[in-house]
Amino acid sequence: MKVCILGDGLIGLTLAQTLVKQGIYVDIFSSNNPINQKKTQTLGISKSNTNFFNKNILNIQNLLWDINKIEIYSENLNNEKILTFQNQKEKLFSIVKNYELYNLLKKKLKKNLLCIFKKTISSKDLLKSDYKLIINTDFSNSLTKKLFYKHFRKDYNSIAYATIIKHKKLENNIATQIFTSNGPLAFLPLSKTETSIVFSYKGNKKIDLKQCVKKYNNRYEILSFRDISSFKLVSSNLRSYFNKNVLAFGDLLHKIHPLAGQGFNMSLRDIKEILKLIILKKENGLDLDYSICIDFEKKTKHKNFIFSNSIDFIYEYFNFENKIKKNYLSKALKYLGKSRKINKIFTNVADNGFIF
């Protein structure tokens, strides 16, 4: 059995490692655009996805920093805390640096005889190839423009700024999200002396991120800032997941607002589903072909669409409150968050997505 993966980004490598662990041969075609893993970008991985990653993909526990408490604040309530999520016995999620995870996956795959890295390929040559299943994670590939251009898209008219701060040593296991009047600002611990910052700022003008962080920071004695990276914020959902034997995957399928840190988690849940389908095929002695694409779309499309829109709803919820300049919505959420049952539902959805 052999699968072709287009794109050697983080999702492509994660999927490839999942497949080779099942004894499947994988050809990975490089992206047309060079991969640039910026050292200021980080990922949040939910508890259930961390367990899945360590067991079914690769043990990355030594790269992770565990979070056992999440605090949500609203500037509309004078930066008062409106929600707290905590598990005294277990972590809620973990943070990992993008480039460290990327480098580890690439190193492992290059040593694996089941995996071959190849240069870019044209859509014409690809469609003439003998691959029975092609999984496309590459935005820049010509096949993407040819087959996967119809999607539901939303421009947030916002820019996400990311950096890492170095600070004095402290017990650093509390993640903080502040819904400011200019957009959500997240403090995501990486170690006792480092914390990742992500600020999704409404508008397209340049801002002084350092001053913004200092304004809302009340926990860290900051020593220095790393380089600041930025990217435009959009959300999108692909209308059709596949074309014949070519399956779209990763951010090509769905991009969401980073406020809840769920983008990579959605792709990991997709990998769980495709892994189940592949194992079933193998157990029945069937080849991996276009039927995987059909079954995968049936299993995941409705879940991904609902989850993507729920993240968008959270963003618009606070955005609307800022527009009307009232704090009724923050007060309502604070009241609801006091219910253990509702708090548990929020936590389970963040960990596992919507379960149907």
Q: How far apart are CA 283 and CA 109, in angstroms?
A: 25
Q: Residue 124 is part of a domain; what is its CATH number?
A: 3.50.50.60
Q: Residue 38 above 60 pLDDT?
A: yes
Q: Write the pLDDT tens digit of every residue in 125-150.
A: 888 899 999 999 998 888 898 899 89
What is the token pair recorded at 321? 């409150």
Q: How far apart are CA 19 and CA 116, in angstroms?
A: 13
**CB-neighbour burial class of residue 155 (10 A; exposed 0-12, middle 13-18, buried 19+):** exposed
pLDDT at res. 326: 73
CA angle at 40 for the pair 37 and 41, rounded to the nearest 5°: 65
Start-to-end Cα distance in the chain: 31
Residue 201 near residue 182 (C-beta atoms within 8 A): yes
- Span of 6-15, 280-289, 331-340 with lowest mean pLDDT: 331-340
Q: How far apart are CA 215 and CA 161, in angstroms?
A: 15
Q: Residue 56 above 60 pLDDT?
A: yes
Per-residue pLDDT band at 35 (split at 50, 70, 90): low
- Span of 26-30, 163-167, 246-250, 323-327 with lowest mean pLDDT: 323-327
Residue 200 near residue 145 (C-beta atoms within 8 A): no
**Which residues 6+ apart lie within 8 Å of 91 measured at CB?**
47, 50, 66, 67, 68
Q: How far apart are CA 193 and CA 223, in angstroms?
A: 10
pLDDT at res. 354: 63
Q: How far apart are CA 304 and CA 297, in angstroms?
A: 10
Domain that holds residue 164: 2-352
Q: How far apart are CA 305 and CA 238, in angstroms?
A: 9
pLDDT at res. 329: 73
Q: Write the pLDDT tens digit of every residue in 319-334.
A: 887 777 778 778 887 8
pLDDT at res. 36: 67
* For range 58-81, the mean pLDDT: 93
3, HSE (Cβ side, Cα atoms, 13 Å): 27
pTM value is 0.93
Please name the residue ranges forming H helices in the chain: 10-20, 47-52, 98-111, 123-128, 142-147, 209-216, 263-283, 290-324, 328-337, 340-352
* For range 262-267, the mean pLDDT: 95
Query: How many domains does the chain contain in total?
Result: 1
* For range 144-160, the mean pLDDT: 92
Place of tokens 């939303």: 154
Q: Write the pLDDT tens digit of every residue in 182-197.
A: 999 999 999 999 999 9
Q: How far apart are CA 315 and CA 160, in angstroms?
A: 14
Q: Residue 353 above 90 pLDDT?
A: no
Question: What percent of the chain is predicted at pLDDT more than 90?
Answer: 72
Q: How far apart are CA 184 and CA 201, in angstroms?
A: 7
- Span of 67-76, 174-183, 327-336 with lowest mean pLDDT: 327-336
Residue 194 near residue 164 (C-beta atoms within 8 A): yes
* For range 46-70, the mean pLDDT: 96
Average pLDDT value over all residues in the chain: 91
Provide, for the chain, the percentages of residues in helix, strand and coil under a 3-state DSSP scheme, each rounded to the nearest 5. Answer: 40, 30, 30
